[in-house]
Amino acid sequence: MRRMLAPHSITRTFMTYLIFLSVLPLVIVGWTSYQTSRRTLEEESRQYTRELVTNQKEYLDLQIDQIESLLANISGVEEIRDTLESEDPQKNTYTELVTQARIGYILNGYSNLEGLVSIDIFTVNYVHYHVGDTLNVENIRQDVRNALFAKALDDDSFVVWAGIEDNVNANSTHKKVVTAIKTLNHINHATLQQEPIALFLVNYSAEDLHTHFSKTNLGEGAYLLVLDGENRYIYHPDPAQLGQTAPDELTSHLTDSSGSVTTSIAGESMAVNYTHSDRTDWAVISLVPLDTLAAKTAPIGRTTTLVLVASFSVVLVTALFFNQNIVAPIQEITARFQQLQEDKPGSQAHLPVRGNDEIAELMRWFNTFMDSLAEKREAEAQIQASLQEKDVLLKEIHHRVKNNLQIISSLLNLQMEEVEDPDIQHIFQDSKNRVRSMALIHEKLYQSQNLARIDFAGYVRNLSDYLLRTYRAAHVRLTVEADEVYFGVDTAVPCSLILNELISNAIKHAFPNGRSGQITIELRTLPNEIIHLSVRDDGIGLDSYVQSQSPSSLGLQLVRTLVNQLHGKIELVSQNGQSGTEFQIIFPTL
């Protein structure tokens, strides 16, 4: 079978070598440089972001310090404490104005504290003092005030930072504020226990925080977040998210006082840096997409890619040149050999020779080979014609031998008609069958495409049918079990005579007086090119004289002689007194 070669396989091999020797090291160096640069820039970006988060946390702490200082100053004014400790549950206008004036005086010292919305004081007797963005305090959210009061009582901190809350004053323009609360206590002289007398509440503008933090630019898609102690947004780039609870996919990573993690937020991989305030447990968080971190390495990646594209272009051009000057001529020779194998017209034409290199020398030798091949094919054609002539003559010889043997068979038949003695007629019949068995061999060879071998399995069936018809043995069934075996003439002729004798003897002697029976012929191939031939019948068996080692029967003498001629062995399997006879013959193929 013709072996098909993959097209351009030499070119691919050359390109592979070229890539491994030149381009691959460049790819490794470029990729390593790119990854190193990317990691370095990412680490610098992360460090910058961590410092930025820390700075923003410190800014919050500064605001917290000022607000706590403000609360401390207000709660420390004796006049304000005396007013709040007064048992009179009613306040008069003068008292309110004086208290508010004192608070306002204190606020003058915090003029640099931007974003302060209001200061509210609620006594346990429901007296309210207010200084802030509006003087309209008629609509106080009682539920918010009560919740803040309860939260302050549950926490023993100096100042409790409630985080982002609804403004207790519903009339304020600031609906969401950052709230700090503090309770003012006094000692009950009757019980000597501390009791709360008022709630100080400072509201800080969330909008002011939004203005401050939104100025921070962390890069495309990056942003800051500020969460209170309950994971609510104090600052979010989207003001509509103010006061909403942050998702668990973010807050689940904020377990330490500060840290850096990489996680997926809303389906995008983000680098998260965070730090908690020790004062409020608020968290300042930066979220930077990983693509943004690596954005500065994009020019390096593009440059590396351009260099690689240029390198591959050089490889491609070199490969094309290599293909045109080396591979193409070799492919042309390969194609011409394929044409020669398929015997296509023009396959013996010479190939053009270009240059004086090794490829040109290969072309010259190919043309020389074509000249030699043409002479060889002419000689082979003459030999083939001679062989065909000899095959015709050999077939003719087989045909004439077969005809001559048939003539001999016919002469024996005529001679039989002139003899009246039955024993002599049997002798003539046996001779005729022997001649017929040899004639059948030559007939098979004449009909065969291969004059050197004969299909012996088919021959056995034809010979068996002929003998059954000759002896008119309708009462005998004959079975042939044969492998596909081919013999030459030197083996086929002795085997045919052996089978003729054994089958004829079985038909004539194993089933006397029209007794019905079975004759089985087996022809098997054994390992090491050994042939096993068996002729078996279920008739009356042979007598002791015939079973002896040197029988005088002419047929059995002929069988033994022919077996020796085949360098084989014959064995009589059946024993005296038992019905049936089996001859087993083993011989090598010649």
Alpha helices by DSSP H, listed for 155-289, are 206-213, 248-251
Q: Are 160 and 71 spatial neighbours (Cβ–Cβ below 8 Å)? A: no
pLDDT in tens, the chain (590 residues): 344 444 456 667 766 776 777 667 777 877 787 778 777 777 777 788 888 888 888 888 888 888 888 777 777 766 677 666 665 545 555 555 556 566 655 555 544 567 888 888 888 877 787 777 777 878 888 888 888 888 888 887 888 888 898 888 888 888 889 998 988 887 776 777 778 888 888 888 888 888 888 888 877 888 899 998 889 998 998 888 888 998 888 888 888 888 888 888 878 888 888 998 887 888 999 888 887 777 767 777 777 788 778 877 877 777 777 777 777 777 777 777 777 777 777 666 777 777 777 777 777 777 787 777 777 777 777 776 655 555 555 555 555 565 666 677 676 666 676 676 777 766 766 676 666 666 666 565 556 556 567 788 887 888 788 778 877 778 888 888 988 888 887 888 788 888 888 888 888 888 887 788 888 999 998 888 889 999 988 888 765 334 433 444 667 788 888 889 888 898 887 655 567 888 999 999 86
Q: How far apart are CA 374 and CA 276, in angstroms?
A: 95
* R_g over Cα of the chain: 59
Residues 296, 299, 300: CA angle, nearest 5 degrees:
95
**Residue 391: other Cβ atoms inside 10 A:** 13
Residue 292: HSE in the Cβ half-sphere, 13 Å Cα cutoff: 19
User: Comparing C-alpha atoms, which of 92, 170, 171 is closest to residue 127?
Assistant: 92
Q: How far is CA 223 from the centre of its chain?
A: 41
The whole-angstrom separation of Cα 538 and Cα 541 is 8
* DSSP conformation class of 73: H
Rounded distance between C-alpha atoms, residue 228 and residue 281, angstroms: 7
Size of the chain, expressed as the number of residues it contains: 590
- Per-state percent for the chain, helix, strand, coil, to nearest 5: 55, 20, 25
The Cβ of residue 424 has, within 10 Å, a number of other Cβ atoms equal to: 12
What's the rounded Cα separation, in Å, for the pair 588 and 568?
7
**Hey, which residues does 130 pair with through a beta bridge?**
120
Helix (H) or strand (E) holding 155: none
Helices 298-322 and 24-76 pack at an angle, to 10 degrees, of 170
- The gap between the terminal CA atoms of the chain, to the nearest Å, is 30
558: left (phi over 0), alpha (psi -120 to 50) or beta: alpha
Q: Which among 235, 334, 339 is positioned nearest to 287, based on CA atoms?
A: 235
Whole-angstrom CA distances from 86 to 58, 83, 301 are 39, 5, 75
Kindly report the number of other CB atoms within 10 A of residue 445's CB atom. Answer: 24
